[in-house]
Amino acid sequence: MKKITNDLLKEEYFEIDHKSGLKIFVMEKPDYSGAFAMFGTRYGSVDTCFRLKGEESYTTVPEGIAHFLEHKLFESEELDAFERFAKTGANANAFTSFDRTCYIFQCADNFNENLEILLDFVKAPYFTEETVQKEQGIIGQEIRMYQDDPDWQVLFNLLRGLYKNNPVRIDIAGTVESIAEINAELLYSCYRTFYNNSNMCLAVAGNVKAEDVIAIADKVLKIEEPVAFEQIIPDEPYEVNEAYTEEKLGVDMPKFALGLKEKCEEIVPSPKKTLLYNLALEIIAGKFSPLYTRLLDEGLINTAFGKEYFFGRGFATVFFSGESRNPKKIRDEIIAELNHIKKNGILQEDFDVCLKKKYGAEIFSYNDVDDLANNLCEAWLNGYGIFDNIDLYRSITREDVEAVIREGFDVDNICLSVIK
């Protein structure tokens, strides 16, 4: 166990290489009333093709199996995990994204008991053909529900427009047809590969003690030899798959999602690149930007308008999304604003305001145990430290952001997804 400190923030956390092979992070907040824990693995919907070390051929698994596995882990031969957490008063959940699966709980008391439940059920898989078939029906209904969800469809229509080969274009839950191919044997195979302790981390923040977390890990976790595997990231052309996609669903106002596809020279963008893109987006289209004010005043957008730097293993995209009766006009206005900034640069005053806003939000995140646990886990997944951004914010210049906007934000490599 080693202590990681930041003198500027007066914050610290413990990084523990547990004997089981699990990486553990604990940020003690003794003045807080509750705690938050996240148990995550580097395994998401994009991981549909992999091979273990020493194997010649790759294993291709059905789309949606990572999400399916997340659902199944809550079950056991006796009480399922939700029933166990209900007895201790904890609020528990889980999620599968493109490149990770995480299991979480938040509680005001009984932390030790809740942590034991979390580690126990995630590390005790129980699959039978009967329970798998039952889950296929449940998740099939979930998939059909998402097919009627305009917010979900506008996103995945965009991803299919942006990407030709990368599995990020695939719905996280898969399709009704793909999950029908899942069986208990495949679930155990994926579990053994991706749920090895060496591919997971536990992040805890709140009114806890690192020694207690270690003691519970000692009690529950078995020592596991690391599992070496290789994930396939398909070759992806730089150009978008299609420039425009449209679908009709039940909406009062058309929804849009606009994506600028980025080059992926790294498997995952560096912390500095991620910070620069997020800062650039704040300057371009944040609530204090000329573009946002103009679009709002003209009635082209409402307060649902948002932006995001979206990235993962082998993919990176700049997103703008919201509601508008004229999405194509939004696209044209964003392109015009980007071209203007590329030609004329950024005002120092705009840069200073946005930098202070983002820097303040970064510091404020240390007051929220949910954010802290999530940030500790995300930092580990992406290969950096939770304090790295603080130092980066203090070194970034206006010229750095201008360079990112000029070199990225390719207005000729763009897709617009619309739900009418």
**Phi-psi label, residue 193: left if phi above 0, alpha if psi -120 to 50, beta otherwise:** alpha
Instruction: Provide Rg for the chain, Cα atoms.
Output: 22
Q: How far apart are CA 55 and CA 177, in angstroms?
A: 28
Instruction: Name the burial class of residue 85, with classes exposed (0-12), middle (13-18) and buried (19+) by CB atoms within 10 angstroms of its CB.
Output: buried
Instruction: Determine how β-strand 315-323 pairs with β-strand 244-247.
Output: unpaired
Instruction: Determine how β-strand 49-52 pairs with β-strand 59-60.
Output: antiparallel
Residue 249 near residue 148 (C-beta atoms within 8 A): yes
Q: How far apart are CA 63 and CA 174, in angstroms?
A: 5
- The first and second tokens of residue 73, run together, are 């882990």
- The first and second tokens of residue 48, run together, are 């549909």
- Which residue blocks in 263-347 are alpha helix, DSSP H? 271-285, 290-297, 327-344
Residue with tokens 């207690």: 212
Q: How far apart are CA 220 and CA 242, in angstroms?
A: 50
Cβ neighbours of residue 79 closer than 8 Å, sequence gap 6 or more: none
Residue 342 near residue 273 (C-beta atoms within 8 A): no
**Dihedral angle computed from the Cα positions of residues 401, 268, 19 and 1, in that order, rounded to the nearest 10 degrees:** -10
CA angle 325, 329, 332 (to 5 degrees): 155
Q: Which H helix or E strand runs over 190?
A: helix 184-194
Active-site pick, 28, 70, 75, 236: 70
Q: Provide the 8-state DSSP code for 213.
A: H
What is the Cβ-side half-sphere exposure of residue 244, based on CA atoms within 13 angstroms?
4
- The first and second tokens of residue 143, run together, are 């998939």
Q: How far apart are CA 77 and CA 91, in angstroms?
A: 22
Is 246 tagged catalytic? no
Active site (catalytic) residues: 70
